[in-house]
Chain A
Amino acid sequence: MQQLADRLIDTGFLQGLPRGLGYVIVVALFAFLMLNFIMLVAGVTSWLERRVWARIQSRIGPNRVGPQGSIQWLADGIKNIMKEDIVPSAADAPLFRFAPYLAMMGFFGAFAVVPFGDGLIVADINIGVLYVSAVTALVVVGILMAGWSSNNKWALLGGIRSAAQIISYEIPAALAVLTVVLFTGTLSMQGIIRAQGWAPWNWFLFHNPFTFVAFFLFFVSALAEGNRTPFDLPEAESELVAGAFTEYSGLRSLLFFLVEWGNLYLIGAICTTLFLGGWQVPAFTDSGLVLGLAQVLTFFLKAYFLVFVAMWVRGTLPRVRVDQLMTLCWKYLVPIAFVNMILAAFFAAILPNGSIFVKAGMCVFGLGLAVHFFQRVLFHLRRAKPELHLSPIV
């Protein structure tokens, strides 16, 4: 991004400004653009999640505001902004007010290293992946602060659950990331993407069995870090009312939800970067602009597919209990991730560039899984003999 800023200051519309001020302006501009993008994505995700969820549950979902209810999220946002911002009298008011912004900061900061395309990244720092796991951990401070300052016992329980959960699941997530890093040798987000290709057999997902396992480990851990079902304990509705967010209302509660849905996209983006080849597209044209757009679109679609999977998981699974959450993390995910990483290290030592046979085998395996899955879907459809409605438009 520095190059872009330099170019703008040297030749662009910021000509003549002092370099420092120019940088500040460019950064502020980027932050503004990014914030709006995230808001939009989070909003649309909230609508889409409700629609996907509704279809899973034989319902329709929001379909009144705008075509197919597509601006429902805007209406909800406006409603939330106009609502009274209540601070409970017993709450620790400054902390209570500050907590949502802290959570927001943590998750928004991570978008600085999300690569949307070749060169389309706010800051391609050389420790990109590490930065993501460090910065997203800030969310936990926000949630814990919200839980504590609400002075509500349910909120406190939710906050503490969240802290334990996010800190624990950092470990398998980091180990899964390391498995990939073993093959790339770089922590830079762009570097990881450049180590992959546009075709599925060049993705790290199908690179070898260990990265394949690492993908699922990372996805599960990321769901847990993002407080998503089946790990939505901090706001477990049937147990803790609304968990850490019980006392929040209006805009502040909206910010927490924004974090949740925004986080979903972040999970998708990081997974795409690490395992699904990021923005890689075949060089089908010479036009840089068209290629750039194709890259952005590819990245967005891949990330959004994972967002869709997360929604779908939410529509399927029940929630784990607190002790089971810890059991899953420390007895299953962490050992598996360690063993997986060590085996991957051996693999990397033997075949540092991977093997075409292993890649082909993994692709066939993946395809087989998909076919089997499709068969099961057909089996359930045949057994229940329902009326079909294939269109997403109702």
Chain B
Amino acid sequence: MGYFENIRESVRTIFEGMAITASHMVRKPYTVQYPDRIDVRVQDTLPFRYRGLLDVDLEICTGCLACERACPIDCIVIDAEKDKETREMVLKRFDIDLAKCMFCGLCSEPCPTGSIHHTPEFEGADYSLESMIRRFVKAPVVAYKPSKGPETNPEIAPILKRGLRYLDEFASPGGAS
């Protein structure tokens, strides 16, 4: 390329670039001023599938341990025992170590009731590793036993509805299991 061609091209392209940056000076900034100067909480704007901090609805947990088995990093620890007398599953411990969790979503997939699920919450910072472990079972509870027909217990029905809606999002993975 010739000497003057170089000069011409430099001037032309720089002129064009300056025009583009000038046009950006009047465009709306895209910054989201998280966390305080926003109209809607970010959590509320996230899609339904957002994989945030894990939560467990103990009311509909069947104690099947599918999530514990599915977890690739063993951050879920469940102690479930069958009560000899009542022949019911009793959950003694349901811990999720959110410091370990990598939010892959593999645990919520095989859950039969949608009990373990991701919430849109993502503000999980804490001061110690110990406090990152969410202990969902405070006192031993009896695991949920799915009824044959539609759920009739008015306390559990809405929770189960939410859980099943969560499961519906998954594209019937696995099928047989």
Which residues of A approach B to under 8 Å, CB–CB?
A: 52, 54-60, 312-313, 315-317, 332, 373, 376-381, 384, 386-390, 394
Q: In whole angstroms, how far apart are the Cα atoms of A377 and B20 in the complex?
A: 6
User: Knowing A60-B33, A316-B14 touch, does A380 contact B19 (C-beta < 8 A)?
Assistant: yes
In the bound complex, residues from chain A placing their C-beta under 8 Å from that of B26 are 381, 388-390
Task: Specify the main secondary structure of chain B where it touches its partner.
Answer: helix
Pair B14/A59 contact, Cβ less than 8 Å: no
Pair A60/B29 contact, Cβ less than 8 Å: yes
Is B27's beta carbon under 8 Å from chain A? yes
In the bound complex, residues from chain A placing their C-beta under 8 Å from that of B27 are 55, 58, 381, 384, 386-389
* Cβ-neighbour of A380 out of B15, B23, B28 (below 8 A): B23
B1-26 contacts to A, CB under 8 A, are 6-7, 14-26
Q: In whole angstroms, how far apart are the Cα atoms of A332 and B17 in the complex?
A: 21
Residue of B nearest to A54 (CB): B29
Pair B23/A381 contact, Cβ less than 8 Å: yes
Pair A55/B17 contact, Cβ less than 8 Å: no
Is B31's beta carbon under 8 Å from chain A? yes
* Number of chain B residues whose Cβ lies closer than 8 Å to a Cβ of chain A: 21
In the bound complex, residues from chain B placing their C-beta under 8 Å from that of A57 are 24
Pair B28/A316 contact, Cβ less than 8 Å: no
Pair A56/B25 contact, Cβ less than 8 Å: yes
Is B127's beta carbon under 8 Å from chain A? no
Q: In whole angstroms, how far apart are the Cα atoms of A365 and B34 in the complex?
A: 47
Pair A376/B30 contact, Cβ less than 8 Å: no
A371 to B: closest C-beta gap in Å: 12
In the bound complex, residues from chain A placing their C-beta under 8 Å from that of B15 are 373, 376
Q: In whole angstroms, how far apart are the Cα atoms of A206 and B16 in the complex?
A: 23
Q: In whole angstroms, how far apart are the Cα atoms of A281 and B17 in the complex?
A: 33
* Cβ-neighbour of A389 out of B16, B17, B20, B29 (below 8 A): B29
B23 to A: closest C-beta gap in Å: 4
A317 to B: closest C-beta gap in Å: 7
A325 to B: closest C-beta gap in Å: 14
In the bound complex, residues from chain A placing their C-beta under 8 Å from that of B28 are 386-389
Q: In whole angstroms, how far apart are the Cα atoms of A228 and B142 in the complex?
A: 70
Residue of A nearest to B16 (CB): A376
* Cβ-neighbour of B31 out of A59, A316, A332 (below 8 A): A59
Residue of A nearest to B29 (CB): A60
User: Knowing A313-B18, A373-B15 touch, does A55 contact B29 (C-beta < 8 A)?
Assistant: yes
B35 to A: closest C-beta gap in Å: 13
Q: In whole angstroms, how far apart are the Cα atoms of A73 and B59 in the complex?
A: 55
Q: In whole angstroms, how far apart are the Cα atoms of A59 and B25 in the complex?
A: 10
Pair A376/B19 contact, Cβ less than 8 Å: yes
In the bound complex, residues from chain B placing their C-beta under 8 Å from that of A54 are 29
Query: Can you report 30 residue pairs joining A to B where beta carbons are below 8 Å apart?
Result: A52-B25, A54-B29, A55-B24, A55-B27, A56-B24, A58-B31, A59-B29, A60-B31, A313-B18, A316-B14, A316-B17, A316-B18, A332-B6, A332-B7, A373-B15, A373-B18, A373-B22, A377-B19, A377-B22, A377-B23, A379-B19, A380-B20, A381-B27, A386-B28, A388-B26, A388-B27, A389-B27, A389-B28, A389-B29, A394-B29
